Amino acid sequence: MSKPWMPLYVADYLSDTGHLTTVQHGAYLLLIMHYWKRGGIPSDETQLAQIARMTEREWKANRAPVMAYFDDNLKHARIEQELAHAEEISSKRRTAGLQRRSNSKAIAPAIAEQLPTQSQSQSPSKEKKDSGADAPTAGKPKREKKYATAIPENFEPNWEAATRVGLSRREADRELLKFKNHAAQTGRTCVNWQAAWSNWCINAAQFLKKPPPGHSTQEAKTITPASRSWNAWKSHFRDANDNIRASMMDKCGDEGRPFTVSSEWPPGHEMNDAA
């Protein structure tokens, strides 16, 4: 039986060895570990000193309190109990392992007899296919799993994602270069690079404080989440199905940042403000 580890009950050990010195603790532990590995300790004093890592003089000075834990036959009662317990567990495991292997060998032929041959397993499917009985079942189609990949070398962005948030083509070209460099530098992988580009454009337009497309910068106005017109503009963008700018406002609202719009109030809400 292999014994790579030895049980050590710390509370019991400290209770029984409280009178030993530090040197005697070391000698005692070395002796009981040798006992555990070899099933006992030798009677030769020189060998005992070597196991305890002591000179013969040191061993003679410390022998009495250490050897008091062993009987006249150099047996250690506690370790003998633990060895017997470990052997019992090992024996049960060996028996269980042999039983499992025996059962596997007995079951394998029976399973082999029940399995159909290749020609038998294929023939019913072929008959169903020929008769048209194997019609596809109606249900939700299986969704193909997509995996994150590095940005393609020939990545061509959706330019509309840039123009919709107010970026000019020159600004979009610059942002595309930054987008690709960032992806290469960080080793980023992504499932949908077009969606990542769209989010990049949203953040870039907000950083540059770009007004919505179709409005001049002279008409632009910056509002904050605390502005009375903030929710009105959010509702306006959602009603117009302008999900990009609605998302931009949600992001700015979460971060407490301002947002640039064409005027303080969206079209059709000025009268509400006056009221």
- Given a cut of 70, whether residue 53 has pLDDT beyond it is yes
Q: Dmax of the chain from CA atoms?
A: 108
User: Which one has a higher pLDDT value, 141 or 75?
Assistant: 75
Rg of the chain, C-alpha, whole Å: 40
Task: List, for residues 97-136, the tens digit of each pLDDT value.
Answer: 888 887 777 676 666 666 665 555 555 555 555 555 555 5
Task: List, for residues 163-190, the tens digit of each pLDDT value.
Answer: 888 888 888 899 999 999 998 888 889 9
Task: Single out the residue of 228, 226, 219 nearest to residue 261, CA to CA.
Answer: 219
> What is the pTM (predicted TM-score) of this model?
0.37
Rounded distance, CA 233 to CA 235, Å?
A: 5
- Amino acid 168 reads S
What are the boundaries of each domain within the chain?
1-101, 147-209, 211-275
- Given a cut of 50, whether residue 6 has pLDDT beyond it is yes
